[in-house]
Amino acid sequence: MKRLGIPLTFLLALVLATGSTPSYHPPTKAVAFGGVLLDGGSFNFNNYLGSTPVILNFWALWGEPCNKEAELLEKIHRSYGDRLAVIGVNVQDFEENARAFAIEHNISYPIVLDGTADIAWIYQVKHLPTTFFIDSSGRIVAIHRGPLKAGQLDRYIKLLLETQVSGEN
């Protein structure tokens, strides 16, 4: 959590010095990252790029919306199998608490631990939950800030899969 303090201190100093907040510019292409999975294994995002569309969901335990969203994402993960990857990024929770949550909710998609919020920082995540919809070439097709409802998730997946079929880049 200390590492997150430096960027926030810098941002506050910038706001005070200029009187305005810097513009928000999330990435338009997926940024590769690695990390430790909740099950203790290694994760490399490059293994997904170029092979499958991805739903990349940043979340934390303290938000009830994140809890409900995890159940929706698990249903998508089980329904789409290899045609669509669901990846969770747990931001700044204690590992044992995140693991207990995943067990309680029967989550089987990979969850990357981001205890220092470095991955969230790379993706310019300002609020949790935030979900990125990424095509297999790595292009970010859509970003949803806030909790996803089933109908919204279905529309984003349709857009993501249509982009794959049409080959838009």
Domain assignments of the chain as residue spans, ordered by start:
26-166
User: Does residue 150 or residue 10 have the better pLDDT?
Assistant: 150
Query: Does the pLDDT of residue 19 top 60, yes or no?
Result: no
Mean pLDDT of 58-84: 89
pLDDT in tens, 142-165: 999 999 999 999 999 999 988 776
- Per-residue pLDDT, 163: 79
Architecture of the 26-166 domain: 3-Layer(aba) Sandwich (3.40)
| Cα angle value 53/142/28 (rounded, 5°) | 85
User: Does residue 95 or residue 64 have the better pLDDT?
Assistant: 95
- Per-residue pLDDT, 168: 53
Burial class (CB in 10 A: 0-12, 13-18, 19+), 103: exposed
- In this structure, what are the phi and psi dihedrals at residue 49, rounded to the nearest 5 degrees? -65, 135
Share of the chain above pLDDT 70, in %: 81
* CA-closest candidate to residue 136, choices 161, 101, 100: 161
User: Does residue 166 or residue 27 have the better pLDDT?
Assistant: 27
User: Does residue 164 or residue 40 have the better pLDDT?
Assistant: 40
Query: Does the pLDDT of residue 116 top 60, yes or no?
Result: yes
Query: Does the pLDDT of residue 26 top 80, yes or no?
Result: no
* CA-closest candidate to residue 43, choices 135, 119, 129: 119
Within 10 angstroms of residue 107's Cβ, the number of other Cβ atoms is: 20
